[in-house]
Amino acid sequence: MPVPTDFRFAGDRMEEDCGVFGVYDAEGSLHVGEAAYFGLYSLQHRGQESAGIAVTDGSGIRYVRNKGLVPEVFDQETIQALTGRIAIGHVRYSTFGVSDAINAQPLVARYKHGNLALAHNGNLINAPALRSKLEDYGAIFQTTVDTEVILNLIARLSSDGLEEAIHKMMKSVRGSYALVMMTETQLIGIRDPFGIRPLALGRIGEDSYVLASESCAFDAVGAEFVRDVHPGEIVIIDENGLRSIQMPVTCRSKLCVFEFVYFARTDSMIDGVGVYAARKAAGMRLAAHDDVSADMVIAVPDSAVPAAIGYAEKSGIPYGEGLAKNRYVGRTFIQPEQGMREIGVRTKLNALTKNVKGKRIVMVDDSIVRGTTSRKIVDMLRLAGAREVHMRVSSPIVMHPCFFGIDTPSEEELLGSHRTCEQMREYIGADSLKFLSLHDLLKTVEGSGCGFCSGCFDGDYPMPLSESESCDLAIE
């Protein structure tokens, strides 16, 4: 599908892979700043560029946000000062281009009816069009993130109250959004009509609620999982308890299947499917269609470990460790330059020579994006004396960029977009290379009952990309 001009890189960048968290303390027994801190800490894998927490005690909103990891942005003293009845938080992913503290979230604004804070995971494909139209009306933007378009729309459309403004905003924006929002009295969770990005609801005690991108954050703060927020649903939590408003949804949901492949944490449940189980099942299905003879199955740590275990179990080839990981290095994509990215791989992973020497290795990874990681690792394993390296990937070939919230590079940079499997094998230098089929990947998440976006694999996006030009603003 052709990408509309001025779409992908409008502003400094469009991609937003993030984690959101919210907590409403109904019983006055929680330290909401602390809960948000631990919630965000457990969502750190969803974003390492910046972090922020906003709190309210019913009068005004205070916030702390900055570039850096959660424990770098907040120290003990800062956390202790973040008291109140409601808190929301955000971690933002590092992609490429300008990374600026001004783009850190939650965004906080004062509008006609009081104060508002907003944290967003996802990507609005028509943000540039809406933003330009809003600017024609005189709007001034302080950041380059699409989230500010949401904030601006809500403020402008709020003459009939906040709920009405949210409805109108949802009619105007196109793309993916899992939002947590806070006024001085309410915690609000919103999931886009396709449910592209996850958002779950949890409870602490009888009446205190939490919202989070992934259920692993509930375990971190001692909350119990209640349910996922439905696609197109708005949940409002305030002194009257929890209320749900369901926006009309015209088609099947489209949860991002890449959450299961790579992005989410293994101990999370998303829309009824356990991430660990899905990854392990992917490895088993990979092995079911394979007949390679090998001495050991290894994983590219950490995200491919469940798939490698599944592969080993199904194939009968013993599982072992072939790569040591420096646990203090973040995700390799952080470095924007290719040269740095390659050094990054070497800093992050190293071969365990004693384990791999003289062996025929099946190396399982969850995905090949640019191919930088795979090529380097295959090389490392060979240098360490591996006799054969057979690469197995527990997802299909990533052929298309994501416009809905996962950071994938442009089509030209995707190894799989313009190469056959054999050409990819040659590039990464493996003895053989196989991918999981899309059919098999979707089987691993079948239990959820929802639909999936597999756009990065097959180009079938939840909505036509021409929607990026949609600019229908209900401004009176």
Task: Indicate which single residue of 133, 331, 387, 434 sits in contact with ligand AMP (rule: CB under 6 A).
Answer: 331
Distance CA 292, CA 187 (A): 53
Q: Does 333 help bind ligand AMP (rule: CB under 6 A)?
A: yes
* Footprint on residues 365-424 left by ligand AMP (CB under 6 A): 365-374, 406-408
Distance CA 276, CA 303 (A): 10
* Ramachandran class of 149: left when φ > 0, alpha when ψ lies in -120 to 50, beta otherwise: alpha
- Give φ, ψ of 27 to 5 degrees: -100, 0
Distance CA 112, CA 158 (A): 8
* Ramachandran class of 188: left when φ > 0, alpha when ψ lies in -120 to 50, beta otherwise: beta
Cross-strand partners of 182:
117, 187
Q: Which is nearer to ligand AMP, 131 or 280 (CB)?
A: 280
Contact 194/3 with Cβ under 8 angstroms? no
Distance CA 282, CA 262 (A): 12
Q: Which is nearer to ligand AMP, 37 or 276 (CB)?
A: 276
- The CB density around residue 9, as the number of other CB atoms within 10 Å, is 13
Choices 39-47, 179-187, 328-336, 458-466; region in contact with ligand AMP by CB under 6 A: 328-336
Q: Which is nearer to ligand AMP, 185 or 347 (CB)?
A: 347
* Footprint on residues 54-83 left by ligand AMP (CB under 6 A): none
Q: Does 260 help bind ligand AMP (rule: CB under 6 A)?
A: no
Task: Indicate which single residue of 38, 262, 435, 457 sits in contact with ligand AMP (rule: CB under 6 A).
Answer: 262
- Give φ, ψ of 151 to 5 degrees: -60, -45
Environment class of residue 291 by beta-carbon count within 10 Å: exposed (0-12), middle (13-18) or buried (19+)?
Answer: exposed
Distance CA 45, CA 351 (A): 24
Q: What radius of gyration, in Å, describes the C-alpha atoms of the chain?
A: 22
Contact 234/163 with Cβ under 8 angstroms? yes
Q: Does 303 help bind ligand AMP (rule: CB under 6 A)?
A: yes
Q: Give the chain's end-to-end CA distance (angstroms, integer).
A: 35
18, 402, 450, 456: which one is catalytic?
Answer: 18
Q: Which is nearer to ligand AMP, 93 or 209 (CB)?
A: 93
Distance CA 202, CA 191 (A): 15
- DSSP structure string for 28-62: S---HHHHHHHHHHHTGGG--SEEEEEEESSSSEE
Q: Show the site string, 130-169: x = touches ligand AMP by CB under 6 A, - = not.
A: ----------------------------------------
Distance CA 1, CA 454 (A): 14
Choices 58-66, 67-75, 175-183, 364-372; region in contact with ligand AMP by CB under 6 A: 364-372
Q: What is the nearest approach in angstroms of ligand AMP to the Cβ of residue 50? A: 16
Q: What is the nearest approach in angstroms of ligand AMP to the Cβ of residue 330? A: 9
Task: Indicate which single residue of 50, 332, 444, 454 sits in contact with ligand AMP (rule: CB under 6 A).
Answer: 332
Q: Which is nearer to ligand AMP, 371 or 429 (CB)?
A: 371
Q: What is the nearest approach in angstroms of ligand AMP to the Cβ of residue 288? A: 22
Q: What is the nearest approach in angstroms of ligand AMP to the Cβ of residue 323? A: 11
Choices 148-156, 198-206, 233-241, 329-337; region in contact with ligand AMP by CB under 6 A: 329-337
Count of residues touching ligand AMP (by CB under 6 A): 19
Q: Is residue 18 annotated as a catalytic residue, yes or no? A: yes
Q: What is the nearest approach in angstroms of ligand AMP to the Cβ of residue 376? A: 8
Q: What is the nearest approach in angstroms of ligand AMP to the Cβ of residue 424? A: 10
Q: Which is nearer to ligand AMP, 209 or 262 (CB)?
A: 262
Q: Which is nearer to ligand AMP, 114 or 371 (CB)?
A: 371
**Residues annotated catalytic, as ranges:** 18
Binding site for ligand AMP (CB under 6 A): 262, 300, 303, 331-333, 365-374, 406-408
